[in-house]
Amino acid sequence: MDETAPQKGTVTQRAIEQIKGMIAEGRLEPGQRLPTERDLAVQLGISRSSMREAIRALTVLGVLEARHGSGIYVTQLEAGDLLETFGVVADLSRGPRLVELLEVRRILESTATALAAARITPDQLAEVEKHLTAMNATDDPEEILAHDLAFHREIAAAACNDTMAAILEGLSSRTFRARVWRGYQEEGAFARTRREHAAIHRALVARDPEAARAAAAAHVGEVEQWLRAQLGG
């Protein structure tokens, strides 16, 4: 019979699963501090090097947080923490997958905008308007892009679904949009973008979910169709 460990996979992989399991079972609470690397290594019967690799892996996944000189802590396990790595998908995708990502974004963004139309608060709406006007007041592509991102981020937040907002954040990551928009903007899409943003804003003010859904879907769909055409020929 096997005694303690069935020796499946690398010791590091096993350590990752064990720590993940401890959190899933509730033995490690969000924000709680873990034992030191040295102690953890002893507890799991592995070397500190392997334990460090496991900790590093869970760190990039947004599950753990290492503070130099202080200790290792479990993150708050919020959607933003865990879905931060979602951005790498967008950053490393090319060709057809970019279209797929935009399709996913269109579906989620349109729904999120519809929800926002029903739930947005006056303060949030004012914030949306701030970015809308700021975006219309400049010609600097960098600044436009920044306010564009903030515009959609504020709307996503108003939808009251942090998970959805975090996914959309990854699908709109700066490097991702910069790559797609580099070409899109060159075709004089600024005016069109401003019109579409205005339409989304009108739907939010009117608290009309269906109009908001349509406006958001059309907005993302524009870019999606353009990109599809770029790849097709």
Partner DNA sequence: CCCTGGAGGTGGTCGGACCACTATCGGTCA
Partner DNA sequence: TGACCGATAGTGGTCCGACCACCTCCAGGG
Contact set with a copy of itself (CB under 8 A): 12, 16, 20, 23-24, 49, 52-53, 56-57, 59-61, 63, 77, 79, 82-83, 85-86, 88-89, 91-93, 97, 100-101, 103-104, 107-108, 111, 161-164, 167, 175
3 state SS of 233: coil
Output 56 or 194, the one with its CB closest to DNA: 56
C-alpha dihedral sign at 24, 28, 33, 37: negative
Q: How far is the CB of 126 from a copy of itself (least distance, A)?
A: 25
Q: How far is the CB of 76 from DNA (least distance, A)?
A: 17
- Our finding on whether 4 is near DNA (CB under 7 A) is no
Output 51 or 204, the one with its CB closest to a copy of itself: 51
Contacts with DNA in 51-110 (CB under 7 A)? 52-53, 55, 66-72
Output 43 or 163, the one with its CB closest to DNA: 43
Q: Give me the phi and psi of 208, to 5 degrees please.
A: -110, 95
Output 37 or 162, the one with its CB closest to DNA: 37
Q: Which amino acid would we find at residue 52?
A: R
Query: DSSP letter at 202?
Result: H
Contacts with DNA in 8-37 (CB under 7 A)? 10-12, 34, 36-37
Residue 124 partner contact from DNA, a copy of itself, none using kind-dependent CB cut-offs of 5 to 8 Å: none
Task: With CA atoms as reference, report the closest residue to 128 among 159, 151, 157.
Answer: 151
Q: Which residues lie below 8 Å from residue 227, measured CB to CB, with a gap of 6+?
A: 98, 99, 102, 180, 184
Residue 108 partner contact from a copy of itself, DNA, none using kind-dependent CB cut-offs of 5 to 8 Å: a copy of itself
**CB neighbour class for 168 (10 Å; exposed up to 12, middle 13-18, buried from 19):** buried
Output 55 or 203, the one with its CB closest to DNA: 55
Q: Measured between alpha carbons, how far is 74 from 63 in angstroms, rounded to an integer?
A: 6
Q: Give me the phi and psi of 229, to 5 degrees please.
A: -65, -40
Q: Which residues lie below 8 Å from residue 67, measured CB to CB, with a gap of 6+?
A: 73
Output 24 or 137, the one with its CB closest to a copy of itself: 24
Q: How far is the CB of 132 from a copy of itself (least distance, A)?
A: 25
Give the pair of three-digit tokens for residue 169.
């954040």
Chain position carrying tokens 């020796």: 7
Q: By CB under 7 A, name the binding residues for DNA.
A: 10-12, 34, 36-38, 45-50, 52-53, 55, 66-72
